Amino acid sequence: MYEVEHWINGKRVKGTSGRFSDIYNPATGEVQGKVPLASVAEMDEAVAKAAEAQKAWAKVNPQRRARVMMKFGDLILRDMDKLAETLSREHGKTIPDAKGDVQRGLEVVEVCMGAPNLLKGEYMDSGGPGIDLYSMRQPLGVVAGITPFNFPAMIPLWKLSPAIVSGNAMILKPSERTPSTAMMLAELLQEAGLPDGVLQVVHGDKEAVDAILDNETIEGVGFVGSTPIAQYIYGRAASNGKRAQCFGGAKNHMIIMPDADLEKAADALVGAGFGAAGERCMAISVAVPVGQETADKLIDLLVPRIEKLKVGPYTAGDDLDYGPLVTPQARDRVMGLISSGADQGATLVTDGRDFTLQGYEDGFFVGPTLFDNVTPEMDIYKEEIFGPVLSQVRTDSYEEALSLVMKNQYGNGTAIFTADGEIARDFASRVNVGMVGINFPIPVPLSYFTFGGWKKSAFGDLNQYGPDAFRFYTRTKTVTERWFQHIAHGGEFHFKAMD
């Protein structure tokens, strides 16, 4: 049994609230550790110390701040195996998946090495008679990141890297379910040369979140999680005058046209639907074949692929397809939604509720589950399941399939598999979803673009990473200046506006 601590002013600090949350081993069901849940007083103290550290950090020129990111990136690569093992131990995902988690975060760190170019302002001379104008990007001050359990490395790195390299201090509140990876990242940043206090890692639950939202010193808040909490955080942050970007849930559809390569589409659906046990906001959870023949063929291709999936603890080797869910509550919720799908009339093709693993009977495992003949009125369609469950919704035409996607309340990601370029271009142009894949199942943009959904998948005007991150973590100041000519008359200087 281990106890995670807070990271305050460059040191591990024990919590003083007296409240703790359990950290599970998802494969065995055992409680393996505990994490402190910060009080309002603890959070406020961390913010105050961050504000002090930020003053000096903001004066460090962007090139030197970028050098810290360069060293940080090297250290992440050095400790990749350690980070992945720690991440898998608390989350349950396979080691290759955990390394992918770290790698996608590292790619944002690498973009932040070019921060001097992204932080430049603009200049215009002769805006008027003798008048010049220029703008500069300045850090907000102290900002906060509230990050989810399902990507313990990637999302914290998406938040803290652009925030810190822009000259801010960051309060990071990682998920209390998977807190240890964030602590390791904090130690690596210190080793990379980040001054103490610029990054504070404070663990907690709703009390800590509300303390962030109500603290007057914090100027901006970034969040990733479920839609109800994203909407709550966005509203409360905005009412307190804070800048906020909050990313919520998803229900990602993949349309399969009759002319698609169905073998490749089936491979894509299995990887995108069941990878990471479905615990990712960009998972494909709804397959939408066009035409009954397409749907029948797709089911026939999916079943043998699903039956070959290997599920187990991360310690079983790198050939696993996915591991357990993160907590017993997560498992029970997914099990309940599978039952509701069967009760509401969907065809249960493969039933993950029956999955057992010898020696790990108490682990939070759910087997791969496939539904056919799902309709939009069913709970398994309406809710984000966040588990290894793929639903097939049959449609008779492209327009019907497109309408299904566009009517859904979520708009994170979507994809279409087709050999028809005209259909693909029409889909990309018309669909009201933030990230679109064409013959590509999980369209997470590369780190020098930007990540963000539409509709109830996102609240706020700016996306994560890429240029938008630097816009979010800085504010623009514009200066209009005019200088006067010095005219000497008999040893005295007189001033007049320059023509």
Answer whether 311's CB lies under 8 Å from 322's CB: yes
pLDDT bin (cut points 50, 70, 90) of residue 490 is low
The encoded tokens of residue 51 equal 């504000």
Q: Which helix (H) or strand (E) holds 288?
A: strand 284-289
Closest CA to 434 of 248, 242, 221: 248
Q: Give me the count of residues in the chain.
A: 499
Answer whether 303's CB lies under 8 Å from 348's CB: no
Strand partners, 132: 481
CA distance 73 to 189: 9
409 CB contacts (<8 Å, ≥6 apart)?
A: 251, 455, 456
CA distance 333 to 262: 32
| pLDDT for res 211 | 98
CA distance 7 to 52: 16
Mean pLDDT of the chain: 95
Question: Can you state the angle between helices 80-91 and 180-192, rounded to 10 degrees?
Answer: 160
Angle at 452 between CA 447 and CA 454, to 5 degrees: 160
Alpha helices per DSSP H over 8-120: 40-59, 62-78, 80-91, 95-112, 115-118
What pLDDT, in 10s, does the model give residues 58-71? 999 999 999 999 99
What pLDDT, in 10s, does the model give residues 318-365? 899 999 999 999 999 999 999 999 999 999 999 999 899 999 999 999
What pLDDT, in 10s, does the model give residues 166-209? 999 999 999 999 999 999 999 999 999 999 999 999 999 999 99
Q: What SS3 class is residue 104?
A: helix
What pLDDT, in 10s, does the model give residues 404-414? 999 999 999 99
Residue bearing tokens 């906001």 = 281
| pLDDT for res 287 | 98
329 CB contacts (<8 Å, ≥6 apart)?
A: none
Q: Supply the residues annotated as catalytic.
A: 281
pLDDT bin (cut points 50, 70, 90) of residue 484 is confident
CATH T-level assignment (fold) for domain 252-438: Aldehyde Dehydrogenase; Chain A, domain 2 (3.40.309)
| pLDDT for res 228 | 96
CATH of the domain spanning 2-248+457-479, picked from 3.40.570.10, 3.40.50.920, 3.40.50.1860, 3.40.605.10: 3.40.605.10
More confident residue, 286 or 498: 286
**Is the pLDDT confidence value at 496 over 60?**
no
Whole-angstrom Cα Rg for the chain: 25
What pLDDT, in 10s, does the model give residues 202-238? 999 999 999 999 999 999 999 999 999 999 999 999 9
Domain boundaries, the chain: 2-248+457-479, 252-438
CB atoms inside a 10 Å sphere around CB 308: 10
Range name among 23-32, 246-255, 417-426, 485-494 with the lowest pLDDT average: 485-494
Burial environment of residue 368 by CB neighbours within 10 A (0 to 12, 13 to 18, 19 or more): buried
| pLDDT for res 487 | 60
What pLDDT, in 10s, does the model give residues 303-331? 999 999 999 999 998 899 999 999 999 99
pTM greater than the 0.75 cutoff: yes
CA distance 404 to 393: 9
Q: What SS3 class is residue 322?
A: strand
Q: What percent of the chain has pLDDT over 90?
A: 93
Amino acid at 410: Y
